[in-house]
Amino acid sequence: MRMGLFGGDKLILGYDLGNEFCQISCARSDSGEAETLSQVAGAQNYNIPTVLCKRAGVNQWFYGKEALKYADEEQGILVENLLGLALEGEPVLIEGESFDPAALLALFFKRSLGLVSQVSSAERIGALMITCEMVDGRVLDVLNRVVAAVHLKTDKVSIQSHTESFYNYMLRQPRELWINRALLFDYRASCMRIYQMECNRRTTPVVAFIREEAHPFYRWEPLPEDKTEREERAAELDSAFLRLAEKYGSERTESVYLIGDGFEQEWLRESLRFLCRGRRVFQGNNLFSKGACYGMQERINASAAGREHVFLGNEKLKANIGMEILRQGERSYYALLDAGVNWYEADETLEFYIQDGNEITLKITPLTGKGSKEARIILEDFPGGISRLRARFYLEAENLLAVEIQDLGFGEFRSASRMVWQERIELYSNG
C-alpha cells in the first residue's frame, strides 16, 4: 500500500537487529542518501553490541559498549543474546528477579534509538524499517511487541529480512552493478552466508530473485600475532574463500559485496584477485541497515527502479489474487492482493453483493510462470437471494491464503444471517 509523499522534516530509519549487534541508518527524506549512525561521533563505529548490563544492586541499565564496559569492570550483570532470549520467551532471572525477555529487548531498542540525537531528535522519526536475518511468525510477534513498548510517534513501521534489505540496497545502486546478477558474502562468527540476486528481464515488471545459502566457515577471530602463524592462517582463509568465490562468482556477476567482521582483517589475496576479474568488488559492514532504510523509502515513494521491478523472496506473496465482479453491468477483474508484498502484510477486506448462487471464484496468477488457476469457495447452507457479504483475505503462511466471509443480509429485504464461512487455499505448488 502506498503511503504517500513524506514530510521533509522527518527521519526515515533502517534498523538492523541481530543477536550480536545492531546498526541504525537514517535518511532525511524519501529519496535522500542513507547514513549510518556511529556510537563514536565522527568514526565509522557502526556496530552496537546487542547487550544490556544491570548495575549490581540498583535498577540502573546500560546498553551496547557501555554495558560491556561495566560488565568487564564487574560492576553489573551482563545480559547477552537479547533477540534469542525474546524469541525463546522464557523469563530471564537477574539478581533473583524475573524479567520478560521481550521487555529487555524493548529497553535495548529504546536506548539504542537515542543515537538518533546525533542528527535530530527521536520525535522526528517518521518511519522505521527493522531488518533481521530472517522473518517468521515468532519474529513478527516479538518485534511488534517491542515496537509497541517503545511508543514511537509514527505508525509507519515495517519489518523485512536481510534478503529483502540486500534487494532494496541494490535498487539504489547504479544499474550496471546489478542488471543481471549481484553477489553478497556475509562473513561473521563461523558462517559464510551467500546471497545471489538475479533479475528475469523477460517479464514485466522485471522479477528479482535472491537465492540464499549458508556455508560453515572458519570461525572469525583475530589473526595470530606471530608472523609465520599469521601468514599460514591468512593463506588458509584465503584458499577456503577462493573455493566459494569460484563456485558462486559467475561471469554474469556484475558486482560483489563483502560484509561482516570476518572480512575486516587483511587475508583476502588470491580470492580478491579472482573476484575483481571483470567485476566490481565492495567491502563494508552496514549494507543491511542502509538497505532497510532504502526499503522504507521505496514504500513511501517508489523509485523508478522500484516501480519497474518486483522482488519475490521467501517472505513475498508470489501470486496476484483477485476475483471477477460485475461493475456497471460489465464483468471486470478486481485485484485483492498483489504479488510482491510481504505475505504477513497481505490483508484485504471488502464488501460486495452476491445475486445468484452460493459460489465465489478467486483467480490466482503466480508470477513464477506456472499459469493461473481458479479457486472456488462454496457457501454451504447460504440462504440464497441477493445479499451483501463482507470478505477478508489474508495469508497465514507464505503459501496459504485464508478467506473469511460473513453474510450481512440485504437491508429490509433480507435480514443478515450472520453466517460465517472460512476457507484455506494453497496458492501454488512448492515443487
User: Which sequence spans correspond to the domains of the chain?
Assistant: 11-159, 165-289, 319-426
Number of Cβ within 10 Å of residue 4's Cβ equals: 8
- On the question of a cis peptide bond just before residue 205, with omega within 30 degrees of 0, the verdict is yes
According to DSSP, residue 225 is labeled S
For residue 24, give the C-alpha cell: 541504525
3-state secondary structure 22-46: EEEEEECCCCCCCEECCCCCCCCCC
Alpha helices (runs of H) in 301-356, residue ranges in sequence order: 304-308
pLDDT at residue 1, as a whole number: 34
**Mean of the per-residue pLDDT values of the chain:** 91
Q: Which helix (H) or strand (E) holds 221?
A: none
Residue 241's nearest CA partner among 219, 271, 264 is 271
Measured in degrees and rounded to the nearest 5, phi and psi for residue 141 equal -60, -45
Number of Cβ within 10 Å of residue 116's Cβ equals: 18
CATH number of 11-159: 3.30.420.40
Parts of the chain with a pLDDT under 50: 1-5, 431
Number of Cβ within 10 Å of residue 297's Cβ equals: 26
* Residues 25, 119: Cα–Cα separation, whole Å: 11
- Which amino acid appears at position 298 of this protein? E
Question: In terms of DSSP bridges, do strands 97-99 and 125-132 run parallel, antiparallel, or are they unpaired?
Answer: unpaired
Whether 11-159 shares its CATH topology with 165-289 is answered yes
Sheet containing 359-366: give its strands across. Answer: 330-337, 319-327, 359-366, 373-378
Q: How far apart are the first and last CA of the chain?
A: 30
Inter-residue contact 336 to 320 (CB < 8 Å)? no
The pTM of the full predicted model, rounded to 2 decimals, is: 0.89
pLDDT at residue 282, as a whole number: 97
CATH architecture of 319-426: Sandwich (2.60)
3-state helix, strand, coil in the chain (%, to 5): 25, 35, 35
- Which amino acid appears at position 267 of this protein? W
For residue 114, count CB atoms less than 10 angstroms from its CB and return exposed for 0-12, middle for 13-18, buried for 19 or more. Answer: exposed
Buried b / exposed e over 185-217, threshold 16 CB at 10 Å, is: bbbbeeebbbbbbbbeeeeeeebbbbebeeeeb
Supply the angle between the helices 287-300 and 162-171 in degrees, to the nearest 10: 70
pLDDT at residue 211, as a whole number: 94
Q: Which helix (H) or strand (E) holds 294?
A: helix 287-300
pLDDT at residue 327, as a whole number: 80
Rounded to the nearest 10°, the torsion over CA 398, 346, 152, 52 is 0
Residue 171's nearest CA partner among 13, 27, 295 is 295
Question: In terms of DSSP bridges, do strands 35-36 and 21-27 run parallel, antiparallel, or are they unpaired?
Answer: antiparallel
CATH number of 165-289: 3.30.420
Inter-residue contact 45 to 38 (CB < 8 Å)? yes
